[in-house]
A and B are shown apart, each in its own frame.
Chain A
Amino acid sequence: MKVLVTVKEVAAVEDEFQIAGTSIDETYLEYDLNEWDDYAVEEAVQLQEAGIADEVVAVTIGPERSEETIRMALAKGADRAVRIWDDALEGADLLDVGAKTAILEKVVEEEDPDIVLSGVQADDDGFGATGVSLADALGYEWAAVVNHLDQDSVESGTASVRRELEGGVEELTDVELPAVLTIQTGINEPRYASLRGIRQAQRKEIAPKTLGDLGLDAAAVENELELTDMYEPETESDATYFEGGPDEAAGQLADLLREKGVGAQ
C-alpha cells in the first residue's frame, strides 16, 4: 500500500513586521513545515511502521528553499519526495485551491497511492480546501478533519476514521479507499526527527518536477482569485483590574464571567 502525503512549507511572520501592499517582505518571514502536515506525515510513518504502508511519498509545491523543510518529512520516515516548481509558479502572486488541485491531481495520477493524507489547512494562506478539492477532482472518497484513523481498517480497504465536529461532537465514518483524508492536529504526537533519520534524509530523493513534466502549462495556475488587500486589524485591549483579597477578587471574576455567559444555563 502506498501513502502520499501533501506537505507545505509555510511562512510565519515575526513578532514585528510590515505589510507592503498585499504582501509581507521576506525579511519578516520564517519558514517551517505546516503544523497540520506534520501530523499527516506522522500518521503516514506510523502506517509504514505498522507494516501497512509499503511506501510513503511526500509531495510539495514549493521553491528550492522548501527542500530544507521537506527533508524533515524524509528525516521522520517518508521514503522519498516530489517537489513541483517552475517559472510559472515562481511568477504567480497567489496559488489558489484550483491551481493546487490541478497540480496535485497530476501527481496523484502518476503515483497512484491508496491513501492521500493532507493537513486540514495551511498555517499561512488558510484556504482549508485543497485536500477535499483534490478528492473531488480525482473522484476519490474523502473525509475531512480526521482526528483518529483505525490503522487495521486501512488494510481491509476501508478507512474507519473519527472526525471532529463543532461543539465537541465527534463522528465515526467509514471511507472506501482510495481516499483523501484531511488530518487534524492531535491525531497523534509528531515525533522529532532523529539524528540518524536526518542523515539518511540527506540521501533520499527529492524529485524536482515542472508543470511541463506533469503535462500542465502555465494556464493551470492562473488564478480566479484576486488578493485585494492585506492589513492588520485594529486591536483594542479592555483590561479589568479586581481589587481586594483573593476571595473578593475571585467573586468579582465569577460575576464577570457569568455576565459574559460562561457557565450560564
Chain B
Amino acid sequence: MNLSSEQAAVRDVVREFAAEELRPVARECDAEQTFPEDVWDGLAELDLTGLTVPEEYGGYDADPVTYAIINEELAHGMLAVATALSVHGLATSCIDEFGTQDVRDEWLPEMVDGRPVGAFALSEPEAGSNPAEMSTVAEHEGDEFVLNGKKQWITNGRRAGVYVVFAKTDRDDPGSITQFLVPADTDGVSVGKKEDKLGLRASDTTTLIFEDARIPAKYQLTEEGRGLSAAFQILTGGRIAIGAQSVGLAQAALDAAVEYAQQREQFEQPIADFQAIRHKLAEMQTKVTAGRLLTREAAQKKAAGAGMETAFLASQAKYFASEAAMDVANEAVQIHGGYGYTTDFPVERFYRDAKILTIYEGTTEIQKKIIARHLLGDDA
C-alpha cells in the first residue's frame, strides 16, 4: 500500500516510540496492573492525544488511514496503551462532533495536551451487546440533567477526567438515549470496582456509578434520542482502530515467533527448519497481511466518507483481524513451547491480551450480525 510521505514519517516515528518507550515497560505494567502515565505524557508530546481533534484546537486530525497505522504501531508495542488512547480518541471525537462551540473550547485544547484523559461510558452490567437495554437515566431539571445509573467496562475509568456518557432522558422510552459529557469531579459520580482481567492488565477498566449526579444542560452532546445512532457512527471508526490494533498485536506475536524459531535448536537444528513450524509461520504471516489489508481498506473507505459501506467493511476488519490476532498469538505460544507459557517471553501476554480484541467494541458475533444484515439487505 502506498503511503504518503507524511503517513510514512508518522508510521516511522510511532513505530520507534512503541519500540523504545512502550515495549520495555509492557511486562512490568502487566504484572503490576499499572498504567504507564509517563508514557501517556510522551504520547501527548507526539500529538497522539489529539488524533481525532481538529487542528484549530491544536489537534492532529488524522485521516482514517493514518489513524489505523498509528493504532497498529502502538499495539505492536503494548495493546493496553493503544486501547487507552483509542478510547480517549472516542471521547474527543464525540465532544468535537456533538459538543457546542463553548463545550469544544472548554475541553478539547486540554484533552489534546493529554489531560484530562477521556473515557466512553456506553455499556452497563445488564446492557452489553444490546445498549438499548440500558437503564441509566438523565432527567432534565431546569438547566441541569440529573444522572442515575451504573456503567460497566470503562477503559480509563480511574484515569479519566471526563466521561462521554449515554443515558435515557425518559426511563420508560428506549428511544430516548442521549449522549452527555460528565466531568469526573461532578458530585455523585464515583468510580467503582477495578476489574481483575485475563489480559490488558495495564489498562484501567472499572465501573462508573452515578447517584444524583448533576451536570449543566450545556453538557448534553446529542439531541434527545440521538445518542445511539451517533455512537454507532463514532464506533465505526473505533472498530477500524481495533482492527488495526489486532494487526499490530498479531505482528508482534509473529515477530517473536520468527525470532524464536530461528534461535531455538532441537534435533540439532533450528526449529525454523522444520516444515511443521514453517507452515505455522506462513499461516500466521498470511493472516497478519490479510487483516492489515482489510483494515486499511475499511480506513480508506471511511476516508472516502461512505456510510453503510464503511460500517460493513469496518465490521469485517474488526472481526477478521481480531480472530486472526487470537490465532497468531496462540501459534506464537505453541512455537515457543513451554517457554511460551512463562512470563520470560512476551507471547503469553500477547495471547492473554489478544482475547479482548474479539470481545470489546462489538463482539465477533455482533460483527457477523452486522455483516450478514448488510449482505442480506436487511439494513436498507
Contact call B60/A193, Cβ cutoff below 8 A: no
Contact call B60/A199, Cβ cutoff below 8 A: yes
In-complex Cβ contact of B47 among A68, A194, A201 (8 A): A194
Note all chain A residues with C-beta closer than 8 A to B9.
68, 71-72, 75, 193, 198, 201
With A192-B46, A194-B46, A196-B60 as known contacts, state yes or no: A202 contacts B5, CB within 8 Å. yes
Q: Which residue of A lies closest to B55 (CB)?
A: A196
Number of interface residues of B (CB under 8 A): 18
- Min CB–CB distance B50 → chain A (angstroms): 8
> Once bound together, how far apart are the Cα atoms of A199 and B13, in whole Å?
12
Note all chain B residues with C-beta closer than 8 A to A193.
9, 13, 46
Q: Which residue of B lies closest to A67 (CB)?
A: B5
- Min CB–CB distance B148 → chain A (angstroms): 40
Note all chain A residues with C-beta closer than 8 A to B46.
192-195
Within 8 A of B (CB), among A182-212: 191-199, 201-202
Contact call B16/A195, Cβ cutoff below 8 A: no
> Once bound together, how far apart are the Cα atoms of A201 and B10, in whole Å?
12
Note all chain B residues with C-beta closer than 8 A to A194.
45-47
Note all chain A residues with C-beta closer than 8 A to B8.
68
Note all chain A residues with C-beta closer than 8 A to B138.
none
Contact call B6/A198, Cβ cutoff below 8 A: yes
> Once bound together, how far apart are the Cα atoms of A60 and B218, in whole Å?
54
Q: Which residue of B lies closest to A76 (CB)?
A: B13
Contact call A195/B5, Cβ cutoff below 8 A: no
With A68-B5, A75-B9 as known contacts, state yes or no: A195 contacts B48, CB within 8 Å. yes
Note all chain A residues with C-beta closer than 8 A to B345.
none
Note all chain B residues with C-beta closer than 8 A to A198.
6, 9-10, 13
B17 part of interface (Cβ distance < 8 Å): yes
- Min CB–CB distance B65 → chain A (angstroms): 14
Contact call B17/A192, Cβ cutoff below 8 A: yes
Note all chain A residues with C-beta closer than 8 A to B5.
68, 71, 202
Chain B, residues 157-174, CB within 8 Å of chain A (1/0): the string is: 000000000000000000
Number of interface residues of A (CB under 8 A): 15
In-complex Cβ contact of A192 among B13, B55, B60 (8 A): B13
Note all chain B residues with C-beta closer than 8 A to A196.
47, 55, 60
Within 8 A of A (CB), among B45-87: 45-48, 51, 55, 60, 62
Chain B, residues 23-62, CB within 8 Å of chain A (1/0): the string is: 0000000000000000000100111100100010000101
> Once bound together, how far apart are the Cα atoms of A204 and B13, in whole Å?
18
Chain A, residues 139-168, CB within 8 Å of chain B (1/0): the string is: 000000000000000000000000000000
Chain B, residues 80-115, CB within 8 Å of chain A (1/0): the string is: 000000000000000000000000000000000000
Chain B, residues 239-273, CB within 8 Å of chain A (1/0): the string is: 00000000000000000000000000000000000
- Min CB–CB distance B52 → chain A (angstroms): 12
Within 8 A of A (CB), among B1-18: 5-6, 8-10, 12-13, 16-17
> Once bound together, how far apart are the Cα atoms of A71 and B62, in whole Å?
19
> Once bound together, how far apart are the Cα atoms of A195 and B45, in whole Å?
9
> Once bound together, how far apart are the Cα atoms of A197 and B5, in whole Å?
13
Chain A, residues 87-122, CB within 8 Å of chain B (1/0): the string is: 000000000000000000000000000000000000
> Once bound together, how far apart are the Cα atoms of A75 and B62, in whole Å?
16
> Once bound together, how far apart are the Cα atoms of A158 and B60, in whole Å?
40
> Once bound together, how far apart are the Cα atoms of A199 and B6, in whole Å?
6
> Once bound together, how far apart are the Cα atoms of A196 and B113, in whole Å?
13
A binding-site residues for B, Cβ under 8 Å:
68, 71-72, 75, 191-199, 201-202
Report, nearest first, the 8 A-B pairs whose CB atoms are least far apart.
Answer: A195-B47, A195-B60, A198-B9, A194-B47, A196-B47, A202-B6, A193-B13, A194-B46
16 A-B residue pairings within 8 Å (CB atoms): A72-B9, A72-B12, A72-B13, A75-B9, A192-B16, A193-B9, A195-B47, A195-B60, A196-B47, A196-B60, A198-B6, A198-B9, A198-B10, A199-B60, A201-B9, A202-B6
Further pairs besides A191-B45, A194-B47, A198-B6: 14, Cβ < 8 Å: A68-B8, A71-B9, A72-B9, A193-B13, A194-B45, A195-B10, A195-B47, A195-B48, A195-B60, A195-B62, A196-B47, A198-B9, A198-B13, A202-B6
